Amino acid sequence: MTRTAAHEREDGEVVAAVIAAADTAATDPLAAAKAVAAAAREVSDMMRNWASHIPWEDLDGLDTLPAEEAARFFDEDYPAIRADLEPMWEPATAAAPAIDPDEDHALDKNAYDFFRPVGANLLGRTEEFHGWVEARRRTETWQYSRVLEAAPSGVATITNDLSKPARGINFNSQDYLSFNAHPEIREAAVRAMRDFGPHSAGSPMVLGNTRISDELEAALGALVGLEHVTLFSNGWSAGFGTVTGLVRQEDHILIDRLAHSCLQSGARAATRNITRYTHLDVEAVRTHLARIRATDSRNGIMVITDGLFSVDADWPDVAALQEVCRAHDATLLVDVAHDLGSMGPGGTGVLGIQDMVGEVDLVMGAFSKTFASNGGFVAARSPAVKQYVKMFAGPHFFSNALSPVQTAVVLKAAEIIRTDEGDALRGRLFSAIHALRDELTTRGLTCMGSPSPIVPVLIGNEKLARTVNRLLFDRGVLAFMVEFPVTPTGASRFRLQVQAAHEPEQAREAARIIDGALRDAKEYLSSAFGNSF
């Protein structure tokens, strides 16, 4: 119930009136009950949310009780309630508790506020951002820079950057098929270390590769249906290097607004002729391509999209994109970092789901999600494209190659992905995914996208998301809270990264904990800041 329009007393005065009325119950319990109920109905929503341990609804309804029930309430139930009401007697103590300045600063700002600092000194102007980060660290609302105490698995022990430990269900790590603990993959790493040592000792163009590198290129080519594969030392470099290696300043790029950072950065580095099209909108791509080709038939066009978008967990109509690209002599690049190996028939990802394996112009990806290693690749149908990328993609030519250990790990992962064991692991993974999404949805939370190893839980307000994040750390769910610059401001979420090692009941328990933390965070922010969600 809310404060009535006829009464505008402060909460402290109202609580005092409740106590005073209740103190008359010994002589006239029915009259006391009516007076207590009338006063209790004036208590503000903020006070009700803050002092949720007080049974306000019981006080509101006292005037509906018969005299005997009212007398029993004051004799048996009220003494404990009075003990909780007394600290709120004075108006000064009835207000919401004082807000810690660190808490206010940590929750009030966003990284966007510091994205374009002012000042001639490039180093000095970072101090304001640093002060905000320190406030977030002190209030334990900083979600970055946590460290593992052992190998990542479905349950993990971590510490935050204040050295505070936590153990919980692990949705932070990207290890979709739980290959990090797979004995054959660990044995492959040991064997490569024994045979080749830990270091590649050169660029892939200058003796950095080994025979394992050639085997890996062949295995990846078979998996994506494009024979000519180029390896990179990490996934970010693969995306950036492919775009900058092929696109020149006169060319054009159409890129999905939500495409990965490496692709966005590559586009900006390659050309000024960039169009960011509406997320997943094939018709927008068609319109932009027609517009460009109407005035420029000489220069190239690259259309760029993720396969599985890592923040929204959705995917494009790849067949439609490829068709419209071919109609306008444009080249389609699809980033399969998150879906390759972890979903689709035989681990072929979104391309396999859409029957597009081997049909896309260019496929690039990263090994760090499913293949248990750093590294990345791009695959093409033509040997000419491969040779050109190797020469003109700076991150390939001017970086050391993947180490022999990394190469061997990815090769073994690629082999397992295509076996019955790979199918079984994907089955276990999706059992946990469906259990998690179903429990979250049943509890009224918003799961974005479609079932995939990424389960985004939309929160929206950053202040709320950071508070939930702090609670989850202490309650045994290790979940990555995503905000700007990964998402737009006001669109924060938890990106839950599911593993084959997760049991369905673990997933359901995590959903229950997340729901409880969200409810408690809303109550806290309502009482401390007056926010409503």
Q: Along the 533 residues of the chain, how does pLDDT read in single tens digits? A: 344 433 456 667 778 888 888 888 888 888 888 998 988 888 776 566 556 668 877 888 888 888 888 888 888 888 888 887 776 654 433 344 567 889 999 999 999 889 889 999 999 999 999 999 999 999 999 999 999 999 999 999 999 989 999 999 999 999 999 999 999 999 999 999 999 999 999 999 999 999 999 999 999 999 999 999 999 999 999 999 999 999 999 999 999 999 999 999 999 999 999 999 999 999 999 999 999 999 999 999 999 999 999 999 999 999 999 999 999 999 999 999 999 999 999 999 999 999 999 999 999 999 999 999 999 999 999 999 999 999 999 999 999 999 999 999 999 999 999 999 999 999 999 999 999 999 999 999 999 999 999 999 999 999 999 999 999 999 999 999 999 999 988 999 999 999 999 999 999 999 999 999 999 999 999 988 887 77
130-170+421-529 CATH pick, 3.90.1150.10, 3.30.2090.10, 3.40.1190.20, 3.40.30.10: 3.90.1150.10
Dist. CA 100–CA 136, nearest whole Å: 12
DSSP state for residue 62 in the 8-state scheme: G
Helix, strand or coil, per DSSP, at residue 149: coil
* Residues 6 or more apart in contact with residue 9 via CB below 8 angstroms: 17, 42
User: Based on C-alpha coordinates, what's the Rg of the chain?
Assistant: 29
pLDDT, tens digit (0-9, with 9 covering 90-100), for 31-87: 888 998 988 888 776 566 556 668 877 888 888 888 888 888 888 888 888 887 776
Dist. CA 404–CA 407, nearest whole Å: 5
- Of 455, 509, 449, 508, which is closest to residue 480 (Cα–Cα)? 455
Residue 361 contacts residue 225 (beta carbons within 8 Å): no
For residue 331, the cross-strand partners are 302
Residue 396 contacts residue 229 (beta carbons within 8 Å): no
Residue 370 contacts residue 182 (beta carbons within 8 Å): no
Identify the pLDDT of residue 90: 47
* Residues 6 or more apart in contact with residue 474 via CB below 8 angstroms: 166
314: left (phi over 0), alpha (psi -120 to 50) or beta: beta
Beta-carbon count within 10 A of 286 CB:
18
Phi, psi for residue 83 in degrees, rounded to 5: -60, -35
Identify the pLDDT of residue 2: 40
- Of 305, 326, 304, which is closest to residue 314 (Cα–Cα)? 305
183-417 CATH pick, 2.30.30.830, 1.10.10.10, 3.90.1150.10, 3.40.640.10: 3.40.640.10
Dist. CA 528–CA 533, nearest whole Å: 13
Enumerate the domain spans of the chain.
11-94, 130-170+421-529, 183-417
**Dihedral angle of Cα 101, 106, 112, 118, to the nearest 10 degrees:** 40
pLDDT, tens digit (0-9, with 9 covering 90-100), for 422-437: 999 999 999 999 999 9
